[in-house]
Amino acid sequence: MTVPDVSPDHRTRMGAVAFAIAGILFAVYEVAAPRADETTLDGAASWASTGWSVAHISAIVGLILIPLGYGAIRGFLNGSPQERTAHLAAVVGYIGSGLTISYYGAETYGLRAIGERALADGDPSLTDVGNDFRLDPTAMTVFVIGLLLVAVAAVLASVAVWRSGFLPRWGAVPFAALLVTMLPQFFFPQAGRILWGVLVAASALWLAAALWRASQRRS
Report the alpha-carbon distance of residue 6 to residue 26 in Å, rounded. Answer: 27
Q: Does residue 185 lie in a domain region?
A: yes
Average pLDDT over residues 174-200: 97
Name the residue with higher pLDDT: 215 or 110.
110
Q: Does residue 60 lie in a domain region?
A: yes
Q: 5 Cβ partners below 8 Å, 6+ apart? A: none
Q: Does residue 102 lie in a domain region?
A: yes
Output the CA torsion 202→208→214→216 (10° steps). Answer: -110
Domain count across the chain: 1
8 Å CB contact between 112 and 65: no
For residue 167, is it left (φ>0), alpha (ψ between -120 and 50) or beta? Answer: beta
H/E run at residue 210: helix 190-218
Q: Does residue 3 lie in a domain region?
A: no
Q: Does residue 2 lie in a domain region?
A: no
8 Å CB contact between 171 and 210: yes
Q: Does residue 29 lie in a domain region?
A: yes
Output the CA torsion 121→122→128→129 (10° steps). Answer: 20
Q: Does residue 189 lie in a domain region?
A: yes
Total count of residues recorded for the chain: 219
What residue numbers bound the domain in which 71 lies? 8-218
pLDDT of residue 218: 62
Q: Does residue 1 lie in a domain region?
A: no
**Residue 66: pLDDT band by 50, 70, 90 thresholds?**
very high
Report the alpha-carbon distance of residue 53 to residue 50 in Å, rounded. Answer: 5
**Each residue's pLDDT tens digit, 13-53:** 999 999 999 999 999 999 999 999 888 999 999 999 999 99
